[in-house]
Amino acid sequence: MIVSQTEGPAPRISVLIGLVSTEDGARVLETLQSLHDKQGEAACEVILVDRRQDAVSAQIRARYPQARLIDCPAGSALPEMRTIAFDHSRGEIVAVTEDHCVPCEGWLGEILAAYDTGPPDLVAVGGAVENGVCETGFDWATFLCEYSYFSPPVVEGETPVLPGMNVAYRRSALLAVPREKLVAGFWETTAHPLLLEAGGRFLSRNAMKMFHCKKFSTGLFFAQRFIYSRYYAGLRFGAGQAPKKAFATVASLALPPVLLMRMIKAAAAKGLKGEFMRALPALAPLTVVWSVGEMWGYLFGPGNALAEIE
């Protein structure tokens, strides 16, 4: 159940969501419906930071007035938006998801159970990610390209790797992460290493499931794959590492077959071979775009890629 952020005591869990999707933007209403109607007695506050400010924003205000909606500039990057939401949250547990992801029934309860039964040094808990849009081979391509590793079953128990859109942190642990790290990039790459280095432990639970439900157009997903790859490569090496950049640029030419091999292995391990074959006609050119994006990032840096990722 979603409770008001301004009335009554703070619930144990705050859920942070950035509104960034330019396609399938109404999917967040399913996210909010699940958080409000399918979580039993568990309660949460929801803070949404909105760079779209569109008709869906108006629907959220009308249908879920207890959720807090915070406007931000259109060029804001998603990590910055999550940090703004964190600044306005109150819960001792801070959960992060995305505006096209729908939590399973009882998701909040699974988070609470993990912290109630976990060790004192538990700082983050995450779970499985299941494809919620399965009509076409391209739908499977968009899922397998990013989330095949987290497709169920995932590791049950302690793990160093958690999905960035199905994760809940201990508030005190996040407060210890420098703010510049929280806004610099996605928390799974900026905050997670620091949490582990500080002695924190991560826990994975299959019952803490998130459905990835975004219906991408071909143009948007290809563009997003290029942007994300440019962002990743653009940050790998510093200004004085030209030889490493040059080597990585050339090595990126070999990425398509390497990526496809990794994906087929991951799909096979999760019982998704048939889905991989359906997705292959789209995955093959996507790996080429991935390769070109990395080369561009090595050559020209990340540019404004972080603010363009949705």
If asked whether residues 256 and 197 sit together in one domain, one would say no
- Domain membership of residue 22 (yes or no) is yes
If asked whether residues 208 and 238 sit together in one domain, one would say no
Give the chain's mean pLDDT. Answer: 96
Indicate whether 8 pLDDT > 90.
no
Say what the pTM is. 0.95
Q: Which domain holds residue 225?
A: 218-308
Q: How many folded domains does the chain comprise? A: 2
Nearest to 124 by CA among 193, 181, 77: 193
pLDDT of res. 6: 75
If asked whether residues 285 and 154 sit together in one domain, one would say no
If asked whether residues 101 and 61 sit together in one domain, one would say yes
- Domain membership of residue 3 (yes or no) is no
Query: pLDDT of 224-246, one tens digit each?
Result: 999 999 999 999 998 889 999 99
If asked whether residues 262 and 194 sit together in one domain, one would say no
- Domain membership of residue 4 (yes or no) is no
Q: What is the DSSP string of the chain?
A: -B--SSSSSPPSEEEEEEE--SSSTTHHHHHHHHHHHSSTT--EEEEEEESS-SHHHHHHHHH-TTSEEEE--TT--HHHHHHHHHHT---SEEEE--TTEEEPTTHHHHHHHHHHHS-TTEEEEEEEEEES--SSHHHHHHHHHHHGGGSSS---EE-S---TTSEEEEHHHHHTS-HHHHHHS-HHHHTHHHHHHTT-EEEEEEEEEEEE-----HHHHHHHHHHHHHHHHHTTS-TT-HHHHHHHHHHGGGHHHHHHHHHHHHHHHTT-HHHHHHHHHHHHHHHHHHHHHHHHHHHH--TTHHHH--
If asked whether residues 78 and 172 sit together in one domain, one would say yes
If asked whether residues 245 and 168 sit together in one domain, one would say no
If asked whether residues 21 and 136 sit together in one domain, one would say yes
- Domain membership of residue 249 (yes or no) is yes
Query: pLDDT of 181-204, one tens digit each?
Result: 999 999 999 999 999 999 999 999
Boundary (domain end) residue, out of 177, 212, 247: 212
User: One-letter amino acid identity for 10?
Assistant: A
If asked whether residues 289 and 175 sit together in one domain, one would say no
Boundary (domain end) residue, out of 163, 182, 212: 212
- Domain membership of residue 238 (yes or no) is yes
pLDDT bracket for residue 7 (50, 70, 90): confident
- Domain membership of residue 277 (yes or no) is yes
If asked whether residues 260 and 288 sit together in one domain, one would say yes
If asked whether residues 87 and 224 sit together in one domain, one would say no
CATH code (residue 139): 3.90.550.10
If asked whether residues 302 and 270 sit together in one domain, one would say yes
- Domain membership of residue 39 (yes or no) is yes
Do the Cβ atoms of 96 and 82 come closer than 8 Å?
yes
pLDDT of res. 98: 98
Boundary (domain end) residue, out of 153, 182, 212: 212
130 beta partners: 211
